[in-house]
Amino acid sequence: MARPGAACPPPARRVMVAARALLFWALVYSYCGVCACIAGLRLLWSIGRRPGETFRWVVRENPPACLNDPSLGTHCYVRIKDSGLRFHYVAAGERGKPLMLLLHGFPEFWYSWRHQLREFKSEYRVVALDLRGYGETDAPPHKENYKLDCLIADIKDILESLGYNKCVLIGHDWGGMIAWLVAICYPEMVTKLIVVNFPHPSVFTEYILRHPSQLIKSGYYFFFQMPWFPEFMFTLNDFKVLKSLFTSQATGIGRKGCRLTAEDIEAYLYVFSQPGALTGPMNHYRTIFSCLPLQHHEVIMPTLLLWGERDAFMEVEMAEITRIYVKNHFRLTILSEASHWLQQDQPDIVNKLIWTFLKEETKRKRE
């Protein structure tokens, strides 16, 4: 019931809002259907060419040695009281040092931050998390458990469980989306924000509706809305899609990048080849259209945005537009020869840029 005296939107406005919502969902489901048809054609093509290889799926029984490399840190677990979920993370650096919390993207896990775990442990307690549903972290079965407010609450609760009330927060790809949202919702918990290859969420939602080229690049968002079929497609040809994401000329690490070794690839295959290992990660995407756009937008802490210009999934124009939402010092660095997997592609440059930003902010505060 409306409050006495409260103004009601005129009928024309209500009709316009309803029409826009209808158009939006029609677009979502129509594009989902298109992506499904394309995936189905690829499946038929693969079966026609190599029927014996198409359905081969090898579950890796033992982790490669790189996942237990002591130079990366210590494997730890924490159980969150409110959700009851157990989270896995790898921590490097002494307890009591300022916290640097690292949030990975898709399809990745804590190991994507191996270069940063080694680099920043000298001055920080560096924690690389397996997000909800990934790796050794618990994976709730229902997609409703992966709504953005749950993912944001995870980071807040983990921070408190680790004994900290603030951190330097770094996120890449989908982890970048979560990092932006944590910075918006809990600004007191983030001293400095660093995001790699993901724009401010409001920029993303506005840009994708106005630029068909970005809509096409983000087709996997729509494809993942379907149950079970996306997971099935990832397993074909012994996870060929997963391998090509990191190694192909179109989407993989660039020619001048730090290419993944065979052992690095095996680490990814070990994690994602386990039964059910892909459903949690894809569930992150299955609630996004009901959670965006945002009601609150502003980011008030110093922010560094790093971007690989050869990103096959995100158009670089979104990086510059992000500036308008940061109401503090904002630094944008675009690396021309780098891919979407920036912190693995150009680790030395990325680490140097992060150090410069962190030292610069410390110096600015002293002055």
Give me the catalytic one of 124, 134, 268, 285. Answer: 285
**pLDDT confidence tier of residue 254, bands split at 50, 70 and 90:** confident
Output the six-digit token pair for 3: 């409050």
The model's pTM: 0.89
Pick the more confident residue, 45 or 231: 231
The Cα–Cα gap between 339 and 346 comes to 9
Give me the catalytic one of 130, 138, 173, 264. Answer: 173
Number of neighbouring beta carbons within 10 Å of residue 115: 17
**pLDDT confidence tier of residue 9, bands split at 50, 70 and 90:** low
Query: What would the pLDDT profile of 113-169 be if each residue is shown by its tens digit?
Result: 999 999 999 999 999 999 999 999 999 999 999 999 999 999 999 999 999 999 999
211 is catalytic: no
The Cα–Cα gap between 267 and 87 comes to 19
138 is catalytic: no
The structural domains of the chain, ordered by start, are: 66-211+287-359 (3.40.50.1820)
The Cα–Cα gap between 109 and 186 comes to 24
173 is catalytic: yes
Pick the more confident residue, 8 or 259: 259
